[in-house]
Every structure is written in structure tokens, then in C-alpha cells.
Amino acid sequence: MTQGDGSAGQAMTAWRRAASARARAARADEAAARHEKWAVTTGREVHLRTAEALRSTAGAHRSSAQLQESFARRMSGWSRGRGPRPRFMSGVAEACGTGSAALTLVDGRQRQLAVAASDGPARAAQDLEFMLSEGPSKDATRCRELIFASREAIEVRWPCYGPAVTAMGIREVAAVPLGSADHCLGALAVFDPRPGLVGTRAFAEIVGALTRTVLLDPDADPELYGGIDHRDVVQQAAGMLSVHAGCHIEDALALIKARAFSGAETLEELARKVMSGDVKISPGEGP
């Protein structure tokens, strides 16, 4: 399969998902209208609450359609050889009025399993969270609530992560958990979002789109069209180091994280050098 064939296929899939999301939004709006009518004729408040929930669902589906359409347009252009391969998260960042946004997936213990980022700064910020085990996405998944901090508050709230991320030029960060009522799947982090966006209905609809129609729907693509990085090379390097050093994998991973944070290399670059034998890490180094 050629580059054009693959990108065209993904664009077609995104267009189909967008159409499906718009159809779902229309059905939710129609149902909401019925409940609003019943609320008037019966005077029962339950219909108003149901209508409100349905309107929220419709908004999330419309937001999902817009994200899918944005990605489809980008993929259609890329198949003709224009620019780098599009990232689904770039559309999410654009919807939030910024260039930097990242999606983090976690396990039941809120440990970061995978990440998808819109650009280099967003990825670097998520790597910092992974290495330091502190930051907005981690707090959002742990507390199950919106996390928001700006300027000096970033450094005060996260003593290690904060100074490192503000040194990158980031001045404001928001993170919100993603998942169902009884299970947290991860978090969306947005860096320097459009002023006034956080806490609005528009922001809630973007979050709802990622949660309901990108991650949880039967037709969802949890790999975000190949944009999810499961940090395979890092996990492989930790496994190799644990064997050579005679330590647990979690301890080996901590050593790699500490070495990456203290050096000039990215986490993935260091992991590849560990795998190739170009870099030796001993248990005595410690974080």
C-alpha cells in the first residue's frame, strides 16, 4: 500500500465517522426537543433534565464530527504530498485555540500507558510528566477533576514539572479527566488554550467528543489513526536494563526516566541507546 492509499483510506474513515457523529447529534437533538415539549405539557422537571443531557450529548457528537472532519481534510491534503503526516491531536489543539494539546491514557493505577500529542512542545510536556510522575494530567486522572494553573502557580503546584514546563515557554495549562462514570481512561491536557475557553460548554463538548465518540464508541479508534505512542521502545529498554542490572522493571524504568531528565536526550532517544548498548545505566545512579 502506498502513502496515498493509506492516507486516503484514513480520510474516508474519518469522513464516515464524522457523518455518523452528525447523525447521532441530530437524533439527540430531536429527542431533546421531544422532552422539552413534554416538559411544557406535563410540567415535569425530569423532562427538562433529560433534554439538557441530550443537548450535551448532541454537542459532544457535533464536536466529534468537527474533529473527524478536520483530520480528514488534513489527511486528504497530505496524500497529495503537502507537509508532514497530520496528527489527530492537531485538530484537538486547533479546536482549543492553541497549537499544543496531548491525550494521555492511563491504567487502573493512573500510570501513564500511552500518549498522543499535537506537536513537539505538547509531547515534551507529557514526557516530563512521565519522567517526574507529577503534572496536570496526573492530577486530573487522580482527582477526577479539571486542573488549571497559570504562570507562577504552575511552578508552585508542581515543584519539578513546573519550572521545566515554564522554561519551554508554556504559561497556562489545563487538564481534564476522560472516561466513564466508573473508570478513568486518561486525560486531555491543553497548553496555553484560547483565553476564556476552559470551563465553557465548548470545552466540555471537546472533552465529551474525545471521551464518548473517539475513545468509548464501538466505532472508536483508540489508536487515533496511528497517533498513539505506547512507549514501546522505553518499555523494552526497561526490560533489558532490568535483566542486565538484576532489578525490577519498575526500578529500571525509574533509572531511565532519571537519566533522561538529567540529560539532553529525549526519553525515546535514550531508550534506543540503551537498547543498542551505546549507553550503560547502573542501579547506583538513582534518581
Pairwise CA distance, residues 99 & 84, whole Å: 15
Which of 60-64, 112-116, 171-175, 215-219 has the weakest average pLDDT? Answer: 215-219
Q: 51-100: per-residue pLDDT in tens? A: 999 999 999 999 999 999 999 999 988 866 667 889 999 999 999 999 99
Q: Is the model's pLDDT at 181 over the cut of 80?
A: no
What confidence score (pLDDT) does residue 2 get? 44
pLDDT tier at 1 (50, 70, 90 boundaries)? very low
| pLDDT given for residue 183 in this prediction | 85
Confidence of residue 284 (pLDDT cuts 50, 70, 90): low
Sequence-ordered list of residues with C-beta below 8 angstroms from that of 100, at least 6 positions apart, any chain? 93, 117, 118, 119, 121, 122, 125, 170, 190, 191, 192
* Residue 287 pLDDT exceeds 50: no
User: What is the reported pLDDT for 5?
Assistant: 54
What is the percent of the chain where pLDDT is above 70? 95
Alpha carbon of 35 to those of 11, 45, 58, 172: distances in Å?
Answer: 36, 10, 14, 40
What element of type H or E holds 242?
A: helix 232-245
pLDDT tens by residue, 219-264: 888 899 999 998 888 888 878 888 888 888 888 888 888 888 887 6
- β 172-180/147-150 pair status: antiparallel
- Residue recorded with cell 529500571: 252
Average pLDDT over residues 115-123: 96
Q: How confident is the model at residue 277 (pLDDT cuts 50, 70, 90)?
A: confident
CA atoms of 164 and 136, how far apart (whole Å): 13
Q: Please count the other Cβ atoms lying within 10 Å of the Cβ belonging to residue 179.
A: 17
